[in-house]
Structure 1
Amino acid sequence: MKYKIHILVCFALILSFSGYSQQGKQKRADTLFNKFSFVKAADVYKDLIAKNYNKDYATRKLADCYAYLRNSEKASRYYKSAVKQENIPIEYYYKYAQSLRGIKKYKESEIWLQRYKDSGGVVHANDFSKDVNFISSVFGAKQQYFLEKVPFNSKFSDFGAFEHDGKVYFASARDEGVGVKRVYGWNEQPFLDIYTADVDTEENVDHSNKVKGDVNSVFHDGPATVTKNGQTMYFSRNNFTDGMEVKDGQGLTNMKIYRATLIDGEWTNIEDLSINGDDFSTQHAALNNDDTKLYFTSDRPGGYGGSDIWSVNIEPDGSLTGLENIGNIVNTESAEGFPFINNEGVLFFSSDGHTGLGLLDIFATIKGEDEQTIVDVINLGVPVNSNNDDFAFTMNPDGITGYFASNRKGGKGSDDIYAFHREPLLTVEGVVSDAINTKPIANAKITLFDDEDNQIAYMETDENGFYQINIDRHQDYKIVASQDKYIDDYRMFTSKNIQTELTSITANLLLNPKPNVVKLAELNTIYFDFDKHNIRKDAALELDKIVSLMQNDYPEMVIRIESHTDSRGKLTYNDKLSIDRANATYEYLTSKGIDPTRITEHKGFGERRLTNGCEDGSTCEEADHQLNRRTQFIVVQME
């Protein structure tokens, strides 16, 4: 009996020690998680699940580990198990929905997002169910960006690439250590450093390609940006100055932006900027086109939540003034970061708070009519964005090429840098004008046809006669302008074999007014005596009728004068005589008060436009010759 009791006591002690062992593992896993060592924490949580110790809790924490590591596939697998648990916190419905987006299961994601809302959850700004057509519209949009892999990616994290003076700068965790290997606990990768390589390099980039000077430290350094003159660098670094690492109240080392100066080929004189703080992060420096404004990411107090994009003015003496949050059109309650401003002043940034395809997506801002105020943001769509993290977008001065980073499948490992080139939107544009007075014609109808005469676009000109239509490249087109009071005009043009940099094709159109045949009948032809150009009495009566008609009945009427001779006499003499008759007619009308601008031209045609067969050598009565000695009036505009 004593022997059996002894066995039972030993067994109970073994169970107790086993329980204490698993409890210690959970404590260790939680400690690693709270220190952001998610790779190591995940290994311990998996072991706890295998040992069936506090399995529900370990499953939730394991799913969170993979979410922080931006591994949507594994995160969704464990969130799927977690949401089946009784009394699961409703936030896990939302987390599961987000992870499903990361593996392109958008319909399932909407279901769990709805369940989250039905359970009382507050939906974040990136609830793409607000726009049910978002996914189809993004994937169905015409592709503008075309991607290329760069040769200098590594199996570690590489991002933040930008070009300057024939070099490409980027941040990378590729240095595994030439001495003591130091790794970042979050993802078990080496700390980031800033590297540089030739733009057209095909060679591997190793630790020898780090930028020279004092920029790189033993902690995270990068990404960076450089001023246009190449003399000043702004870069991100852990809060580490003069060999000292500074932690906040929670024991975390935040990020700061530092400034360095290029002296004799080395980056030195490292300066801690006034916008930094020990209790929040400041990072992802970007400069506007003239280096007078610094944009950056920060989770400092006063934002909209998560991390926001802020800006500050750079004064001539280098001081920073006018700290400003750029507002809630860009910033959300979630995370925004990695700002970049191109030569046209467009802000690009990454966010998981706006409607996107997966995790972080890249967006561009849209400005209002004042070209200053940001009024909206747009998703750059595929292939720039994916169902994973897409960030650190930069564009070269040509506006056609650039870089971004992504942890999508198919890369070399972790975050990879992708180069892009794009075909910018192409438009046909122009002004529709009156052919007589060159004034713009508002509300003219513009119709665009393809090379098979199919109508593909339709619009009306604005008050300045201007139109603009987006078109495809590599096509032939016809564009037609029409207006009720005018004769149609058209142009044939092509977008084939044009330079990629070209963004518009100009096709101006001229419309001639339609003659009014009824009113034309009221403008009777006048006649001249043989070899004379003076205005006869009967002609003066007709001209007075024209004056009255133009001054009283049709004050907008515009006419053209054409004068002629009969065939008798030399050709050159008759040319001069017809011009004299046209001039005499013009002078009579203007002497009676007709504005000269309402007579577009007064022209002589000699004997070139006979009305009958009375040519040289023919026998004609005087009455027949009289019919050719005339001035006619052509109405070119009535109103």
Structure 2
Amino acid sequence: MKLIISILSIGCFFSVSAQEVKEKIAEKKYEGYSYIDAIAIYEKVAEKGHVSVELFQKLGDSYYFNGMLDKSKVWYDKLFQMKNQTFDPEYYFRYSQSLKAVKAYKEADKMMEKFYALTNDYRGELYVKNKLYLVDINNSLDKFTITDAGINSEFSDYGGYFKDTKMYFVSNRIPQKNNKKIDKWTNQNFLNIYRAEFSDSAKAVYIDEIVDEFNTKYHESSPVFTKDGKTMYFTRNNYNNGKVVMDKDKVIKLKLFKASLENGKWGKITELPFNNNEYNFAHPALSPDEKTLYFASDMPGGYGNSDLYKVIINDDGSYGKPENLGDKINTKARETFPFIASDATLYFSSDGLIGMGGLDIFKSVPDENGNYSSFHNIGAPINSERDDFGFVESPFKNIFFVSSNRDGGKGYDDIYKVKVNPEPKKGIIINKVIDEISKEPIADSKITLLDANQNKIAETVTDAQGNFSFNDVRTDREFYILVANDSYLAKEFRVKGIEQNNQVFEVAPKVIKTKPGDDLVKLLNITIYFDLDKYFIRPDAEVELAKIIEILKMYPNLKIDIRSHTDSRQSEAYNLRLSTFRANSTRDYLIKKGIAKERLTCKGYGESQLLNNCTDEVPCTREQHQLNRRSEFIIIQ
């Protein structure tokens, strides 16, 4: 897959000591782009205990450029663990991408910060300006459902372009009809173009290996058709009319070809005139009016390893001069797999723009001049921590397809079906904030709406009546509402959609006005209960009493009267005695915690001051009786 996806420019070769014969052999394979063979040799060298910057770089790179970022991380880990070493800053970027592949995003972000500090590179700048990028990317999780497309094999399957209800895709599965050579790059079969028929419900019906002239013994990929179905552009190794052409380093590059449909067969296969034997040209895409061809290339004059270009298709079938899409889209890394949707939106993959890891898919809407000058990550679950690419429309409503080597796939690369989920129902949240002591509404409070992961969604303030509202809130989701006011303690409330509308949220003031006769229990909104027939201090009561103790310590002139009560069960005499024990127990507890006994008085009131009608003649629940088993802390000075 990566030979087609990743237009590579390997510019760093290394020297080795004479005794490292195996490492020399590996280097030859590395320079010749046979990365899989090189990995085995390099690893044997590393297993024998050899340590060097070059060795770890090459091992990491061998996996990195094959899209195996979780494995490249293993060797970049070792590289960055080496002390007092310097290396190309690009390795900070590669290490960051590899860390993302295992979802180590905090460590990845640190590497991006170091990368930016060393280079001032656009890729690092994007991160610095968008440190909350994961929040934005994950905001689309509910918008799509992604499933296996039903056409994958244990090998590499990717790409795709629809002509009617047939998808033309790429695979290196073992061919039944075309006998192909083994690719040194991957030690697997070369790529063929296959065709899959889909039903009206976007379900794969059958798969057919195409035996047309455009499938050769080398790589073919990325077909795209004109609307009339008579012209096809596609990618192929530099092989035509039975001849292979190599560059000056004996590498077979990629080129763009054009084929015409004649009598049901594809013929007149010609390479496009702007191809060059020394560089790669791949992944064609047509504009809706079919007057512009987009593609990826590593030709000179670009910004990175591969850039996106466009070229005008003239009425007479000739071509203009390729134009780079510019530094608003292209980076020093890889931009590849362009696709132009029916509404002229450009979709493409990049590992240079800020994303989840590996290649992410981005979209760019043309400006008023038809240029692509901005971009947006299309988010999860379409994008993952691995390589995601080959985004295409389908003829089926709200169905798209994408390719990825994410975990859980059937083969090395797989094609996935993306369904756009129906828009969820939304409503309005309307609630109120009041002072929990005075019960008066609180105006000008800052209200923040947070999602279940504590990410901010929106903000507002309460009006003069303490009311606030949020529009377009998902009715099926849980949210948090954070209330903040300079005069009140911040408090968070959990709500579910609009089901808990018209709630009243009570918040405690930071400064409490008091006077003799006030009950600290009510002022602090605390509860101190006793168990049935007991007078010991319960653990939950200790927490509440700690608040009373702190107030008494803060205000040394404050004196209080402790008043304890019981429920109506048992006799009046028994309850009076029990409540006295409770009052004394509470007073003793406060004295033990350092409060002077002269500041405390106490008395038991038995069942004489019930808070409800739970007398002996009235049946009540345990909870109703519990309300009466309480203590009060009345300010007397």
**Structure 1 length-normalised TM:** 0.61
CA contact (8 A) 2:197 2:206 kept: no
Choose which of 17, 22, 28 in structure 1 pairs with 2:25: 28
Amino acid at match of 1:38: Y
Q: Is 1:64 aligned with 2:61?
A: yes
CA distance in 1: counterparts of 2:172 and 2:255, whole angstroms: 18
Amino acid at match of 1:78: W
Amino acid at match of 2:62: C
**Percent identical across equivalent pairs?**
32
Amino acid at match of 1:174: R
- 2:96 maps to 97
**Structure 2 length-normalised TM:** 0.61
- Superposition pairs for residues 563-574 of structure 1, below 5 Å? none
Q: Is 1:377 aligned with 2:355?
A: no
Amino acid at match of 2:384: S
- 1:403 maps to 401
CA distance in 2: counterparts of 1:138 and 1:179, whole angstroms: 42
What secondary structure is seen at the aligned counterpart in 2 of 1:321? coil
What is the CA-CA distance between 1:54 and the residue it aligns to?
5.1
Deviations 1:262-307 (A, max 9, x none): 1222211101111211121111011111222211111222222221
- 1:235 maps to 234
What is the CA-CA distance between 1:355 and the residue it aligns to?
0.9
Name whichever of 228-237 and 194-203 sits farther off.
194-203
Q: Classify 1:302/1:174 alpha carbon distance in 2 versus 1 (closer, same or farther; 3 Å).
A: same
- 1:76 maps to 73
- 1:174 maps to 173
Deviations 1:421-477 (A, max 9, x none): 2147799xxxxxxxxxxxxxxxxxxxx963879999999xxxxxxxxx9957889xx
- 2:299 maps to 300
What is the CA-CA distance between 1:246 and the residue it aligns to?
0.9
- Structure 1 unmatched runs, 5+: 1-18, 428-447, 460-468, 476-639
- Superposition pairs for residues 342-491 of structure 1, below 5 Å? 342-368=341-367, 370=368, 372-397=370-395, 400-423=398-421, 450=428
CA distance in 2: counterparts of 1:319 and 1:421, whole angstroms: 38
Amino acid at match of 2:20: Q
CA distance in 1: counterparts of 2:473 and 2:251, whole angstroms: 52
CA contact (8 A) 1:110 1:129 kept: no
CA contact (8 A) 2:344 2:366 kept: no
- Superposition pairs for residues 245-256 of structure 1, below 5 Å? 245-256=244-255
- 2:34 maps to 37
Amino acid at match of 1:242: N
CA distance in 1: counterparts of 2:298 and 2:57, whole angstroms: 26
CA contact (8 A) 1:144 1:422 kept: yes
What secondary structure is seen at the aligned counterpart in 2 of 1:374? coil
What secondary structure is seen at the aligned counterpart in 2 of 1:270? strand
Amino acid at match of 1:400: N
CA distance in 2: counterparts of 1:323 and 1:93, whole angstroms: 32
Q: Classify 1:117/1:185 alpha carbon distance in 2 versus 1 (closer, same or farther; 3 Å).
A: same
Bigger radius of gyration among the two: 1
What secondary structure is seen at the aligned counterpart in 2 of 1:280? coil
For the aligned residue pairs, the C-alpha RMSD in angstroms reads 3.1
Amino acid at match of 1:62: L
Give the paired residue count.
423
- Superposition pairs for residues 261-340 of structure 1, below 5 Å? 261-340=260-339
CA contact (8 A) 2:258 2:272 kept: yes
Q: Classify 1:230/1:356 alpha carbon distance in 2 versus 1 (closer, same or farther; 3 Å).
A: same
Amino acid at match of 1:360: L
What secondary structure is seen at the aligned counterpart in 2 of 1:320? coil
Q: Classify 1:340/1:473 alpha carbon distance in 2 versus 1 (closer, same or farther; 3 Å).
A: farther
Choose which of 35, 46, 50 in structure 1 pairs with 2:47: 50
What secondary structure is seen at the aligned counterpart in 2 of 1:354? coil
Amino acid at match of 1:324: E
CA contact (8 A) 1:90 1:121 kept: no
